Amino acid sequence: VQVVESGGGLARPGGSLRLSCAASGSSNSFASMGWYRQVPGKERELVANTISTTSYANYADSVKDRFTISTISRDGATSMVNLQMNSLKVDDTAVYYCNYRTYIGTTLMDYWGQGTQVTVTV
C-alpha cells in the first residue's frame, strides 16, 4: 500500500485549505482512513477519520464543525479521502499525515503518507 498526500500550504486565520490522500494498492476492506497531525515536541494526534463500510466520521474536538472528511472513492485498488479545512486557526499549524489502516489477515496494519505542512499565520 502506498499513501500519497497532496494539498496543504499556507493560509491566514479564518481561511481554508484542502488535503487529499490516495492509498493505492489498497482494498475496500480497510478498517479506517483519515488524517493525523503533529507539531514538534508533541505526539501525533487524530484529526479525523472515516470507518470503512460506514458513513461514520470521527473528529477531534478541536476541529469539529470546521473540518470535514469525505471519502472520494473506494473503487478498485485505490481509496481516497479529502479533508476540507475551514475557519483555520493558528493552532492548526502542523504536519498532517494521511493514515490508511487495514487488516492483513488478523493483524491491523497502519500505512502513512510522507506528511504535508499546513501553516496558518497572520
The dihedral of CA 89, 85, 3, 36: what is its sign?
positive
Whether the Cβ atoms of residue 89 and residue 13 lie closer than 8 Å to each other: yes
Q: Is the pLDDT of residue 56 over 70?
A: yes
Structural element, H or E, at residue 90: none
Per-residue confidence (pLDDT) for residue 38, from 0 to 100: 98
3-state class of 116 per DSSP? Answer: strand
CA distance 59 to 14: 19
Mean pLDDT, residues 12-25: 94
Per-residue confidence (pLDDT) for residue 121, from 0 to 100: 96
> 73: which residues sit within 8 A by CB, 6+ positions away?
79, 80
Task: Give pLDDT tens digits for 41-55.
Answer: 999 999 999 987 677
